[in-house]
Amino acid sequence: MSLRKEKLTFVLKSLNYGGIERLAFNLLNFIAQRQDLSIDLVVGWGKGVYEQEIPDNVRTIDLKIHLENRIKSYISLTDKLTKYFAAENPNYIFSYLPIANICSAIAWSLHHQSSKLILIEQTLLFNDLVKLQGYRHSVKSHLKDNTKNSLFSITLPLAMKLWYPQVTAVVSDSLGLARGIEKGLNLKPGLIKTIYNPVIDKKVPIALEDSIAHPWLTSPQAPVFISVGRFAPQKDHFTLIQAFFLLRKKRPAKLIILGDGELRKQIENLVDELNIRSDVDLPGFVKNPYPYLKQANTFVLSSLWEGLPTVLIEALASGCQVVSTNCQYGPDEILENGKYGWLVPITDTSALSKAMEHSLESPIDRTLLKQRANYFTVKRAANEYLQLVGLSTE
């Protein structure tokens, strides 16, 4: 009779396209190659683009809950997770649930605590977002949209402060975010562990070789800047476009922004107001940005906040020059305080424009950029997560 394999459970909000989901699947696909583990993927809503990427040896449990910022949905999630933990008794649990990680912690404690529960946090706390609202009115809109029930702003930090010290470990994706969570919740320093995101794997060289047909990149007539990200308040594309406008006054240049979202119309309006439509392209969402990054001169991140921006690592892996706001959190750690790219204050249009120009005039050796990206491998991250729960590593 064969012995029962130990069970590892991943808990995700949904299978929709998103940065957290992409990173979770990078880790899931790597660990699923092991023969000594039985793996479950528990999702709040089991329909989405990543449904086709679930490994054959991973069982999916769809809880059929649309996670919205309503107390009812979180009560339902906690109830279903409690029943799942009791029935399946997983040995290890990796929970990727912004805000709802607390549901995993409560369900885990109500079942029993023989499982090892790892909560993975990759976003700013509510109070950190509040501090940013003085910089950009759009951040206020973002906060309003994501905290419709004011109870979250009061109860969530209290619940995190109560439950987070009790679980096996809480992991953030940057040192800055770890310290920010500890300070924001008044937790013991060092309680939050840091494991950098699993980004680089054997698929990256293949993705880099995909062909693209964008004329600005295949037959360049001027330097090309590129940005990748949702058209959302967090990404602050308004500062990027205004910085590009200042640079465009000095020299020919092009700007491509890959992505889509709620602010597309406002971004298009700004491009038209500045009369730079012929030099700015907004082609929409692109599943594989690597060939664009490979061909562009400089990648620009203009975000107001991040956790550990994956796209910065992807840009480095492509050998692309990088300019980034020095936002909370992550860019300073990825770029080692400016060693591998240019860092500027958030919302500073002039500083961003000057850094973009410097990236063209004094580029960093592409080999060094690629070497830095190779620090953020899926294998490294997977081994650190496995070590955290006491499992053997490669």
At 393 the pLDDT is 83
- For residues 150 and 312, the model is more confident at 312
Which residues, listed in sequence order, are joined to residue 237 by a DSSP beta bridge? Answer: none
At 112 the pLDDT is 67
Arithmetic mean of pLDDT, 347-352: 97
In DSSP notation, 154-223 reads HHHHHHHHHHGGGSSEEEESSHHHHHHHHHHHTPPTT-EEE-----B-THHHHHHT-----HHHHS-SS-
Confidence label for 20 from pLDDT (cuts 50, 70 and 90): confident
- CB neighbour class for 4 (10 Å; exposed up to 12, middle 13-18, buried from 19): exposed
In CATH terms, are 6-198+377-388 and 203-373 the same topology? yes
Is the pLDDT confidence value at 136 over 50?
A: no
**Calpha distance 204→313 (Å, rounded):** 11
Is the pLDDT confidence value at 331 over 90?
A: yes
Q: How many CB atoms lie within 10 A of CB 124?
A: 24
CATH number of 6-198+377-388: 3.40.50.2000
At 153 the pLDDT is 66
Arithmetic mean of pLDDT, 33-38: 93
DSSP state at residue 69: S
At 184 the pLDDT is 82
The predicted-structure confidence for 236-280, as pLDDT tens digits, reads as follows: 999 999 999 999 999 999 999 999 999 999 999 999 999 999 999
Q: Domain residues of the chain, as ranges?
A: 6-198+377-388, 203-373
At 371 the pLDDT is 98
The predicted-structure confidence for 151-169, as pLDDT tens digits, reads as follows: 666 777 888 888 899 999 9
What φ, ψ does residue 356 adopt, rounded to 5°? -60, -40
Residue 79: closest CA among 117, 110, 118: 110
At 137 the pLDDT is 45
The predicted-structure confidence for 169-186, as pLDDT tens digits, reads as follows: 999 999 999 998 898 888
Is the pLDDT confidence value at 313 over 90?
A: yes
Is the pLDDT confidence value at 143 over 60?
A: no
H/E stretch holding 228: strand 224-228
Sign of CA dihedral 89, 93, 96, 101: positive
Percentage with pLDDT > 70 across the chain: 91
Is the pLDDT confidence value at 138 over 50?
A: no
Superfamily of chain region 203-373: Glycogen Phosphorylase B; (3.40.50.2000)
Of 78-87, 105-114, 189-198, the range with the lowest mean pLDDT is: 105-114
Which residues, listed in sequence order, are joined to residue 117 by a DSSP beta bridge? Answer: 93
The average confidence (pLDDT) of the chain is: 90
Arithmetic mean of pLDDT, 109-122: 87
Arithmetic mean of pLDDT, 86-98: 91
- CB neighbour class for 193 (10 Å; exposed up to 12, middle 13-18, buried from 19): middle
At 132 the pLDDT is 53
At 259 the pLDDT is 92
At 277 the pLDDT is 96
Arithmetic mean of pLDDT, 123-144: 52
What φ, ψ does residue 169 adopt, rounded to 5°? -165, 150
- For residues 328 and 143, the model is more confident at 328
Arithmetic mean of pLDDT, 358-374: 98
